Amino acid sequence: MLMHERPGPALRLQIALQSLEVRQRAFTLGRGALAAAQISILVFTPFSALMQTVGGAEPAPYCAGARIISAFCIGGPEVPSIVRVIVMIVLLGLVLVGFLPRVMAFVHAWIAISISTGISLPDGGDSVAAIVSVIIIFIMAADDRRWAWSKERRPVGPVGRGVALAGIYALRLQVTLIYLNSAFEKFNVDDWSNGSAEYYISRGYMFGASGLIAGVLHWATSVPLLLAVITWGVIVAEICIGILVVTIDFGRRIAFIMAVALHVGIILSIGLWSFGIIMIATVGIATMKLVPSSASPGSASDEDDSPSILGDDDAARRSEVL
């Protein structure tokens, strides 16, 4: 294949399967950030607040049906709540430091689902973390290291690479759905469609801006043109992220930069730290460059005896394909 030619879909998929490598720092940092955000919820939110009765409903945790195996329910009421919280924090800490990443992926998913379904007022970040942690289980099919920071690169078979690649594509699609749905749903809300939403959000009683940021944001949102730019800019950013995350490597890098800018802005203006970190981590994992296996000694599989379809020139283009 000549350097200026772009491979078709079938060939691009073959190249991706031969080149996939998820055992990299970006993935480890993304998983760690997810765990850190969930640790912050458990550490800084009183247990009574997590289980607050809402609208006359039964008090949380909710343990009916399959939820009986939730981290908040297993063992019954005899297990003190503080013990549950400490155990979850310790386990999430092991995810954070990268211990047995493939095994801990299952534990992480269990805790993330427990938080999303077991507390009384989960936010969007909790739901996203639960979905992403399940998808990560499949991505971990290509990572059997004992320590996520290890440089060890044992061979990964074609099945493991295929399952991991499917997980990456599923995550990218999920990110696209999250951001496009969020953007287009805003068109159904008058304050968003007329460009005034940020005026009310920045002055909200519960999540409004505070401190120095409040003064700047209150001034900016009092200027009609700036208010419209900020409000509609959020929608435009969400649409761009949703589209760019499923494009080429350069487009995905732009998507990640936009996600960082968007969510750091949300964190600085109205808080929502755990939500912002979860979303940045999710987009970071979805947009990471899948390093060619040839860049990591030993990562090519001894089980994969299929002839390589890549010439020397083609190998230089793998990152764009992935």
Q: Tens of pLDDT along 84-115?
A: 999 999 999 999 999 999 999 999 999 999 99
pLDDT at 299: 42
pLDDT at 179: 98
- Position with higher pLDDT, 1 vs 291: 291
Query: What are the tens digits of pLDDT across the range 30-75?
Result: 999 999 999 999 999 888 888 887 766 777 788 888 889 999 999 8
What confidence tier does 207 reach under pLDDT thresholds 50, 70, 90?
Answer: confident
53 three-class SS: coil
pLDDT at 23: 87
> What CA–CA distance (Å, rounded) separates 215 from 206?
17
Question: Average pLDDT in the 264-286 region?
Answer: 93
Widest distance between CA atoms in the chain: 67
Looking at the predicted structure, is the pLDDT value of residue 18 above 80? no
Quote the pTM value. 0.87
Looking at the predicted structure, is the pLDDT value of residue 304 above 50? no
What confidence tier does 145 reach under pLDDT thresholds 50, 70, 90?
Answer: confident
Give ∠ CA 293-298-304 in degrees, rounded to 5. Answer: 70
Q: Which long-range contacts (CB under 8 A, 24 or more apart) does 237-243 make?
A: 237/261, 237/262, 238/179, 238/180, 238/182, 238/183, 238/186, 238/262, 239/179, 239/180, 239/183, 241/175, 241/179, 241/283, 242/175, 242/176, 242/177, 242/178, 242/179, 242/180, 242/183, 243/176, 243/180
What confidence tier does 213 reach under pLDDT thresholds 50, 70, 90?
Answer: confident
- Report which of 111, 70, 71 is spatially closest to residue 94, judged by C-alpha positions: 111
Query: What are the tens digits of pLDDT across the range 231-270?
Result: 999 999 999 999 999 998 899 999 999 999 999 999 988 8
- Report which of 286, 27, 22, 38 is spatially closest to residue 175, judged by C-alpha positions: 286
What one-character-per-residue DSSP string does 160-210 give?
Answer: HHHHHHHHHHHHHHHHHHHHHHHHHHHTTSHHHHTT-HHHHHHT-TTT---
- Report which of 62, 2, 23, 285 is spatially closest to residue 169, judged by C-alpha positions: 285
In the numeric block, the tokens 């800084």 are attached to 44
The answer for residues whose C-beta is within 8 angstroms of residue 37's C-beta and 6 or more apart is 125, 129, 273, 274, 275, 277, 278, 281
What confidence tier does 217 reach under pLDDT thresholds 50, 70, 90?
Answer: very high
Per-residue tokens: 186? 């805003």
- Report which of 30, 206, 273 is spatially closest to residue 265, judged by C-alpha positions: 273
> What CA–CA distance (Å, rounded) separates 35 from 108?
8
pLDDT, mean over the chain: 85
